[in-house]
Every structure is written in C-alpha cells, then in structure tokens.
Amino acid sequence: MIFANTYATLKLSKVMLVAPSSVKTYGDLGEWALGKWGRFFTVVSQMGVCLLVPCAFLTFWIIFMALMVVPVCLIPTLKESAGMAFAGCMGTVIADIIAVSVLQWNMRGHGSIPSPDVTLHQVLTCFGNLALAYGAAIVVPDLQREHSQPQRMPRVVVITILFISAFFVAVALAGYTAGGCQLSGNILYSIVSTSDPLGLAPLGFTADRGAVVMAYLFMQVHISIAFSTLMMPPFYMAERLVLGMHKGPEIVRFNGEADQANVDLDMEIQEKRSYIQSSTPMDAAGNRQVSASSIVEKTEGRMSHLRVAH
C-alpha cells in the first residue's frame, strides 16, 4: 500500500504538472485524458470520497460534527489553510502518542502476544483503513493548482507520503508490541470501551481518564480539519457550477500521437527547473529571496500553460 499509493500520487502530480492550464480539477483531468466519460467517473469517485467519508462513520453525532466543521470550511482555499492543516497534523501525532503511551504503560508485563487469527474480514478491514488513510490524494489537484511553484509538488508529495507511512509503521509496531492482534481497528478504541467509557478497556485495564480525554480531543481536532479539507474540492466545483466561477478554456482531450512529444518536453523542462533551486537571487524591490525557477517561470511561462486548447 505504501509504494502503490506513493507511486500513484506521484504520477497524478506529474500529470497535473504537464496538463494544460485549463485542467484545474480531478474532473478536468479525467476529461482531458478520457473524454466526457472520464470526467463522469472521476467526479463520481472523488465526490464519493469527499462527501461520504465525513458521514460514513457517524449516526447520532453527524449534526454536531457538521456544526464543528462549518467554521473551518469558511476558509476559501487550501493555500490559506496551511496553518490549519498543520494543526490537524499535530493533533493526530499527539493523539497517537498519548494512545500508544497509555497502551504501553497499562500493558507492561503482559504475557506473550497471542498469534493472529487472520480472516478475510480482518484483511479487508486493514485494506480499508489503509485506503482511507491514504485518501488525501483526492486533494492533490487543489494543492497543485494553488502552489506558487508547482514543479516542486512531485517531490513534496513523495516526501510527505513516505513520512506519513513511516509514522503509520511506527504507531502500528508500538501498538502491536503492547497488545498484538487484540487491538481494534482504531487505536483509540483500544484504550477505552466506547460502549462503557467508565469501565474497563477492551484489553482489561483502566486507563487514566485525563489521558483518554486528551487523546480524543486532539483526534477531534484532526477529524474536524480533515473533514473540512475533504470538502474543498466539492466547494470548488459548486462555485464553478452554481456561481459560474473558475471558468476556463474548453478542455480538448489528450491526443497521444500529437501531444506526447509536448508532454515529454514539458516533463524534461520541469525536472531541470527543480534542480535550479540552489541559486536564490535577491529581489531588490521587496528585499526578499526569489527562487531561480520562479524567475524562469515568470519570464518564459510554463510550457503546459502555453498549450491552451485550440
């Protein structure tokens, strides 16, 4: 899953990099690559993730969650919500550290870890959890569209996903050494019973109430910000369809024979520009540093942006 998702997200970022300037969303990318049917299936799959994930696991708390997400959703773009995204990331890190610490402390001195009883349900649950954890690829077009230097995005994507994957592995190993295959699909459910929060945890210990509350509060911060981030693509499409915003040139489907040479040239240029970051001349007017690749882009313009639909 690590390598498959890293490879797929990297290729998505590179395709967005060489696509014409009229390609701004997942739907635009689907139409550019596969025509109208490509747009249809791409939009359906993306909206399914963006709109169903925030409500798929909630029954009674969905209204409360929606009210918490509304203020965060008022931030217009992902670029302006960078600080918010960092706060959500730290919320996840802190919540997992607390949960793992509670597990390790209360399970110290336990007997040998029971051998796993692998079933199809466990395999599918694990695959589903990992697929959900790597679901952030659906916002890559929005991130790349708003990036001031999009040629850096492939490298950023790879480093970010590998860092997140290392964090996943660390949490999994720490939890497994504490309880083995007895852990639930969500590590927070292993430190407190959701059916009896004041009783024993599923593994038979009573965790410190303060630690449990702090772990859930920090995870709530992460969930609220993650859900609002997933709503950015639907909001962008709603602005385009309802308000008539973000209109661009008509998208012409990619022609492999005629456009492949341009794509190869575009990729070569972008890769060369990504290595020009060592020289950062000073901008005399604003007394700030400007990367060389940014200057090249301003003077020459991105090749893909010059190939607007005829």
The letter for the amino acid at 226 is: A
Is 230 within the bounds of a domain? Answer: yes
Rounded to an integer, what is the distance from CA 198 to the centroid of its chain?
34
Is 288 within the bounds of a domain? Answer: no
Measure the CA–CA gap between 237 and 245, rounded to whole angstroms. Answer: 9
In tens digits, the chain (310 residues) has pLDDT values of 788 888 888 888 888 888 887 888 888 888 888 888 888 998 888 888 887 777 776 677 777 777 877 887 778 777 778 888 889 889 999 999 999 999 888 888 776 766 777 788 878 877 877 777 777 778 888 888 888 888 888 888 899 888 888 988 888 888 888 777 777 767 888 888 878 888 888 878 888 889 999 999 998 888 888 888 888 888 888 888 888 887 777 777 766 666 665 666 665 665 555 555 544 444 444 444 334 444 344 334 444 444 444 4
Is 144 within the bounds of a domain? Answer: yes
Containing structural domain, residue 208: 2-242
Give me the pLDDT at residue 21, please.
Answer: 79
The maximal CA–CA distance of the chain, rounded, in angstroms, is 71
Is 175 within the bounds of a domain? Answer: yes
**What is the domain count for the chain?**
1
Give me the pLDDT at residue 285, please.
Answer: 41
> Which two three-digit tokens encode residue 33?
């690559």
Give me the pLDDT at residue 214, please.
Answer: 93
Is 211 within the bounds of a domain? Answer: yes
Measure the CA–CA gap between 270 and 11, rounded to whole angstroms. Answer: 14
Is 249 within the bounds of a domain? Answer: no
Is 302 within the bounds of a domain? Answer: no
**CA angle centred on 166, ends 147 and 81, rounded to 5°:** 30
DSSP bridge pairs for 282: 289
For residue range 59-115, what is the model confidence (pLDDT) as tens digits? 777 777 778 778 877 787 777 788 888 898 899 999 999 999 998 888 887 767 667
Give me the pLDDT at residue 95, please.
Answer: 93
> Which two three-digit tokens encode residue 174?
């720490």
> Which two three-digit tokens encode residue 298?
């301003």
> Which two three-digit tokens encode residue 303?
């090749």
Is 213 within the bounds of a domain? Answer: yes
Measure the CA–CA gap between 224 and 233, rounded to whole angstroms. Answer: 16
SS3 196: coil
Kindly state the percentage of the chain with pLDDT values over 90.
Answer: 5
